[in-house]
Amino acid sequence: MSTKILVPSGVLGLGFDLEALSLGLKRKPDIICIDGGSTDSGPFYLGTGTTKYSFDSCKLEWTHLMQAREQLGVPLVIGSCGTCGTNNMVDWMYSMTTSIAKKLKQNLTIARVYCERSADDLKEALKLNKILPLDPAPVFNQKDIDSFSHIVGLAGAEPFQTALDKGADIVLAGRATDTAIISALPLMKGENPGACWHGAKIAECGAFCSSNPSSGVILLEIDKEGFTVEAMAKNAFCTPHSVSAHMLYENIDPFLLYEPGGSLNVKDAIYSSIDENKVRVTGSVWQPSSSYSIKLEGTKKAGYQTTMLAIIRENRYVTKAQQWAKKLHKLSVEKIVSIMKVSPEKFTIDVRLIGYDATLGKMEKPVNKKPLEVGVLVIITASSQEIATEMSRLLNPYLLHLPLTDKEDLPTFAFPYSPAHTERGAVFEFSLNHIQLLDNPMNGFSLKIDEVNFD
Amino acid sequence: MTSLGELVFKIRAKNAGPFWITIDIFCEKPFIYEKVKGTLNLKAVSKYLRMPQKDIKMYEIKNLRVIKISICRPHVQGNLFDRDIHGAQIANLFSEFQIT
């Protein structure tokens, strides 16, 4: 006996090969699992409770997956709905699902798993010493929690298992670990727990563990001893190297993965080729922890931003751009403080030179060869949009005309568009890198089950 | 002198959550793996990135011939002074690391 899991791609909205999906369906998987989000695109999405993926792409792909589910009569599961996995994004997926079900005339049991925590929940847990920092952890106190825009707990396997146990055809979960989405069913069926979590980690990005990452579709078969992984696209191959290398991906430690309820150790895992496209893995070990904990994610508003971009083409200014940028920054701060009567700690002006070190900042090496032109990106962050934009107006004449010395004509730099400033709205930062100890794996996760009948 | 990028098969970097970046150096050939392992130690990485050793973790994965370096992000992902949200560009810096 074994459990077969079809993973169509690394995330809903990224696309997958339809032919590979149909080949995967022929293998009669027991479940179809896909991830719906990540923190990888930054704090804005959790900060605002929004998706980074296009609604139309998600809907098209979800339609294919709902048809596939209906065809096989197996559950379809998504975690971290709508990039950030907030409650409203679970409902966003729910409304998409019911609208597709109506069109396809499907009858479904749909489970929603909510993972968001309130400020009061977090305060209470903090009081009970149930919140522990990871390394490095932002520091916060009881009062700071009120400024957090959203707090989510990453669901482990249990909330998915509860939903499946209740007969859900479709599970729409909020924020969850990428692996829990996949490991839930095989764990329920008593497969080897090390293989469940390790297989889930290998398959969580879809075909990233193969020679053709963009093909998407992966079949994972987990049993009592280990797991087998196989790419479904005709031009994608899984090799011991491609599979074991994926364990390193986005993971601090190549051998250890912490999950709710324990950790996965793959130090002694053995990866062997079964044929040119299939890899068998054994020897992965699940080490249950003495207490059950989940990871928390949170964001808070960092201010409102207005940006400006100018381009320097004149050779002398290109050569001395770093010196010029320092002068620009100094004069801008002085002018803003003096005219707007704002103290310097109430705003930030970040001047980045594209062509020098705009990507890597202080880690960048000294520039040997000067670039042809330099982009000057000015990022202003203040307590309101109006203030940030007013600051950009004060700074505008410097960005356009600031000379290197007082003994020369005013230069004029290129502004690529008008208006020169761009309002970016509210910006956010991650405010938590903590775990929460739970007495019960379902604490803080709530389930809503609906029957929809459109046939 | 040759650059690490010319010597090895592939170097990739990516966020490992919002607080860390991880760099995987795929050496492919065993003798290159040994050479890289001998040169790119904690001290050298710390000096190259101008970052304290306590913020760097290094792993040797012999069967894959991979050297893995995980660094505590100088700026948390997406905060006001972060310059690379996905943390992938640091791979280029390692690609240009000079090795004798």
ipTM score of complex:
0.96
**CA–CA distance, A172 with A450 (Å, rounded to integer):** 11
Q: Are strands A76-83 and A170-173 parallel, antiparallel or unpaired?
A: parallel
Share of chain A above pLDDT 90, in %: 97
Pick from A56, A143, A155, A50: which is nearest to A111 by CA?
A155
Pick from A325, A202, A326: which is nearest to A257 by CA?
A202
**Which pTM does this prediction carry?**
0.96
Average pLDDT of chain A? 97
Residue A240 Cα to chain centre, angstroms: 27
**CA–CA distance, B26 with B14 (Å, rounded to integer):** 14
Closest residue to B19, CB basis, from A245, A363, A433: A433
Q: Backbone dihedral region of A182: left (phi > 0), alpha (psi from -120 to 50 degrees) or beta? A: alpha
pLDDT at A368 over 90: no
Give exposure, B37-51, as e/b (b: 16+ Cβ within 10 Å): beebeeeebbebbeb
Phi and psi at residue A95, to the nearest 5°? -70, -35
Closest residue to B66, CB basis, from A248, A364, A379: A248
| Cβ pair A244:B83 closer than 8 A | no
Q: Which amino acid is at A204?
A: E
Dihedral sign, CA of A244, A247, A248, A250?
positive
Residues in A closer than 8 angstroms to B96, CB to CB, are 365
Cis amide leading into A366 (omega within 30): no
Q: Where are the beta strands (DSSP E) in A161-213?
A: 170-173
| Residue carrying the six token digits 């970046």 | B21
Tokens for A217, please give them: 């579709």
- Provide the chain A residues 223-262 that lie in CB contact (below 8 A) with chain B: 241, 244-245, 248-255
A69-104 pLDDT, tens per residue?
Answer: 999 999 999 999 999 999 999 999 999 999 999 999
Residues in A closer than 8 angstroms to B20, CB to CB, are 252
List residues bridging with A256 in a β-sheet.
Answer: A265
Chain A, nearest residue to B91 by Cα: A360
Residue B9 Cα to chain centre, angstroms: 14
| Cβ pair A363:B74 closer than 8 A | yes
pLDDT of residue A231: 96
**CA–CA distance, A331 with A333 (Å, rounded to integer):** 6
Find the mean pLDDT for residues A406-432.
97
Any CB–CB contact under 8 A between B72 and chain A? yes
Report the residue of B72, B81, B90 to disrupt the A interface, i.e. the one with the largest count of A CBs within 10 Å. Answer: B81
Closest residue to B77, CB basis, from A348, A350, A430: A430
Given a contact cutoff of 8 angstroms between Cβ atoms, the answer to whether A440 and A408 are in contact is: no
Tokens for A252, please give them: 């601090």
| Cβ pair A350:B22 closer than 8 A | no
Distance in Å, alpha carbon of A42 to nearest chain B alpha carbon = 5
B30-57 pLDDT, tens per residue?
Answer: 999 999 999 999 999 999 999 999 999 9
